[in-house]
């Protein structure tokens, strides 16, 4: 394998360039750059693909979280995971709510049910759980806790495009689920995101919220904001959607190959889903570098980077250790032993549809070599 070509943790797949250029013509001819029909068409096509119609597309996954939380009109504490991307926790604060961190499971890195239950107070209004790495949370158990305590449930499903069980998309769960269409994600619109609502009324409200809350020329119903997806990006998404099944199956192929090559390497633990009823979309390939691996995570990263392989420490630092949150009582290291341990060991290996089998084998060979020559 040619060593000179960098292998990044992620690489976006692009639609056919000529199709994109010819799709731009109606945008040019109409001068409708935003608030146009491609945004609506993308929502409809996503709804058809996902077999779930209450879709509101927005300009990124962070906006999706902000609008989702805002749409539920809540006050108080939101129980959430510290093991996530910064956007999850920031969105809670930006909506004037208080994040309360709960620890995670060792196996799949999702929020722990027991920790959720221990964190509930009279001020709790919601649970914001992340299906981390595309692995589903304990959805049924979270629903029953929420029903018992009258809490709203928001899922940050940013890693979950294409994850489904035999009855449908994972996006249909919770009061609201959100996702990201960033270039590093399974499905991308350059920048973008979407919100999936439990009712068509909520989806309609979210469409108003994304456009300043303006209903028509005479009425402004909500204190909304501008989170619209541009027409060019919507077009990009429509074209990307036509190839998504083959992109997901390439990711799944590489996920399986990584699992086979690294599954038995001493000192490497694969982070896996514990719920086999959902498909794996191959959005990430997270491993943990355990203390008995011959070198530490940082040295392994150095070795890989020296060979032009660029994995990422998703998620490190965890949000409970980040400056805006580290003073909160729920952020103490002793309250979050598993999240802290996992964050110090986790490493996401390159996984995207543009890889080749040779590249995956090459990355694994470097790790196997490090395992033998510590
Ligand atoms: N919730 C969760 C659980 C999330 O994971 C995220 C985003 C969000 C919410 C918020 O969604 P957005 O508002 O972002 O839509 C990345 C992404 O910026 C972020 O979207 C993502 N999660 C997070 C897990 O990872 P970085 O800083 O590690 O990515 P970056 O830009 O360094 O890209 C990584 C690699 O991908 C690069 O080394 C090369 C490649 N790349 C990247 C871009 C942007 C490309 O080849 N082309 C590109 O255009 O944060």
Percent of the chain with pLDDT over 90: 97
Q: What HEC string does the chain produce?
A: CCCCCCEECCCCCCCCHHHHHHHHHHHHHHCCCCCCHHHHHHHHHHHHHHCCCCEEEECCHHHHHHHHHHHCCCCCEEEECCCCCHHHHHHHHHCCCEEEECCECCCCCCECHHHHHHHCCCCEEEEEEECHHHCCCCHHHHHHHHHHHCCEEEEECCCCCCCEECCEEHHHCCCEEEEECCCCCCCCCCCCEEEEECCHHHHHHHHHHCECCEEECCEECCCCCECCCCHHHHHHHHHHHCCHHHHHHHHHHHHHHHHHHHCCCCCEEECCCCCCCCCCCCCCEEEEECCCCCCCHHHHHHHHHHCCEECECCCCCCHHHCCCCCCCHHHCHHHCHHHHHHHHHEEEECCCCCCCHHHHHHHHHHHHHHHHCC
Please name the residue whose Cα sits nearest to atom 30 of ligand 1. Answer: 184
The span from the CA of 333 to the CA of 347, in Å, is 20
pLDDT value at 4 more than 90: no
Report CA(349)–ligand 1 centroid distance (Å). Answer: 14
In tens, the pLDDT along 266-283 reads 999 999 999 999 999 999
pLDDT at 133 > cutoff 50: yes
Phi-psi region at 201: left, alpha or beta (left = phi > 0; alpha = psi -120 to 50)? alpha
Predicted local confidence at residue 184, as pLDDT: 97
pLDDT at 73: 87
CA–centroid distance, 84 to ligand 1, in Å, is 12
Residue 358 in this model has a pLDDT that exceeds 50: yes
Q: How confident is the model at residue 3 (pLDDT cuts 50, 70, 90)?
A: low
Mean pLDDT taken over the chain: 97
> Which among 9, 11, 85 is the best mutation to test ligand 1's pocket, defined by most ligand atoms within 8 Å of the CB?
85
Give the pLDDT band (50/70/90) at residue 2: low
Say if residues 354 and 11 touch (Cβ distance below 8 Å).
yes
- Provide the pLDDT for residue 124: 98
> What's the pLDDT at 108?
97
Closest CA to 285 of 272, 276, 274: 272
What's the pTM? 0.97
The two tokens of residue 28 are 């040019």
Query: By the 8 A CB rule, do 136 and 163 touch?
Result: yes
Residue 221 CA: distances (Å) to CA of 203, 207, 217, 264: 14, 11, 11, 57
Q: Whose CA is nearest to atom 49 of ligand 1?
A: 183
Confidence class of residue 374 from pLDDT cuts 50, 70 and 90? very low
Ligand 1 atom at minimum distance from 91 CA: 9
Q: Tell whether the torsion through CA atoms of 319, 325, 326 and 332 is positive or negative.
A: negative
- Ligand 1 atom at minimal distance to the Cα of residue 312: 28
Q: How confident is the model at residue 127 (pLDDT cuts 50, 70, 90)?
A: very high
pLDDT average, residue stretch 56-75: 97
Of the candidates 239, 196, 244, 234, the one whose C-alpha atom is nearest the C-alpha of residue 40 is: 234
Smallest CA separation from ligand 1 atom 9, residue: 87
> What was the pLDDT predicted at 166?
87
Per-residue pLDDT band at 284 (split at 50, 70, 90): very high
pLDDT in tens, 155-184: 999 999 999 998 899 999 999 999 999 999
Ligand 1 neighbour 281 (Cβ under 6 A):
no
């Amino acid at each position: 394998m040619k060593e000179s070509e960098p292998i990044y943790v992620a690489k976006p797949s692009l639609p056919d360039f000529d199709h994109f250029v010819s799709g731009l013509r109606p945008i040019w001819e109409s001068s409708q750059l935003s608030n146009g029909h491609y945004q609506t068409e993308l929502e409809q096509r996503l709804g058809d693909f996902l077999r779930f119609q209450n879709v509101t597309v927005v300009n990124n996954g962070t906006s999706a979280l902000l609008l989702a939380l805002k749409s539920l009109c809540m006050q108080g504490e939101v129980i959430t995971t510290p093991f996530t991307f910064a956007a999850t926790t920031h969105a809670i604060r930006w909506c004037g709510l208080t994040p309360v961190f709960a620890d995670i499971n060792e196996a799949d890195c999702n929020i722990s049910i027991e920790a959720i239950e221990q964190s509930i107070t009279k001020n709790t209004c919601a649970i914001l759980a992340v299906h981390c790495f595309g692995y589903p949370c304990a959805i049924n158990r979270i629903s029953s806790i929420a029903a018992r305590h009258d809490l709203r449930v928001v899922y940050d499903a940013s890693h979950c495009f294409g994850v489904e069980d035999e009855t449908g998309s994972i996006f249909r769960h919770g009061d609201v689920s959100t996702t990201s269409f960033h270039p590093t994600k399974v499905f991308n619109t350059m920048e973008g995101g979407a919100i999936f609502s439990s009712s068509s009324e909520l989806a309609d409200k979210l469409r108003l919220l994304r456009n300043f809350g303006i209903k028509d020329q005479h009425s402004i119903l909500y204190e909304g904001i501008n989170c619209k997806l541009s027409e060019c990006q919507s077009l990009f998404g429509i074209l990307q959607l036509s190839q998504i099944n083959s992109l997901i199956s390439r990711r799944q192929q590489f996920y399986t190959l990584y699992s086979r090559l690294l599954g038995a390497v001493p000192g490497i633990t694969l982070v896996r889903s514990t719920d086999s009823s959902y498909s794996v979309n191959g959005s990430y390939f997270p491993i943990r570098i355990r203390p008995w691996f011959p070198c530490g995570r940082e040295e392994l990263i150095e070795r890989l980077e020296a060979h032009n392989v660029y994995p990422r420490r998703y998620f490190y630092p965890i949000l409970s250790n980040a400056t805006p949150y580290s003073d909160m009582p729920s952020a103490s290291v002793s309250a979050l032993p598993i999240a802290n341990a996992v964050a110090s060991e986790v490493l996401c290996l390159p996984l995207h549809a543009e890889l080749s089998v040779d590249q995956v084998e090459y990355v694994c060979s470097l790790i196997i070599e490090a395992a033998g020559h510590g």
